[in-house]
Amino acid sequence: MRVMAFIGVLGWIMLVVPELHFLYKYLIPVLGAGKYLAFLVMGIAMFFCLPIALTRKSFKALLPARCQSLIEKLMMGLLCVLSVVISRHFM
C-alpha cells in the first residue's frame, strides 16, 4: 500500500506540474501496449491508494480511538471521490 501511495504522489505531481506533462506525452507511448497497464496502475494509485493511506495515517496520528471505525471508512470514500473531482479540474 505504501508503494502504491508513493506512485500516487508521483502521479499527482505529474498531473499538477505542467512542466512534467511531457512524461505522459513522450515517455508513456514508449511502453506500447503496456501503457494501458501503466495508466491503470497510476489511476488506482492516485484515486484509491493515496487517499486511503493518507486517511489511515491521519486517523492513527490524530484520532487513534476512531481507527477502523465507520467515520474513518466514510472519510476514505470521501477523499477518493474528492481526488477524482480535483483531478478532473486539472485535466
Residues 11-30: pLDDT tens digits?
888 888 878 877 777 877 78
Q: What is the pTM (predicted TM-score) of this model?
A: 0.79
Of the candidates 41, 42, 40, 68, the one whose C-alpha atom is nearest the C-alpha of residue 55 is: 68
Whether the CB-CB separation of 75 and 59 falls below 8 Å is answered with: yes
How much is the pLDDT for 80? 94
C-alpha cell of residue 58: 491521519
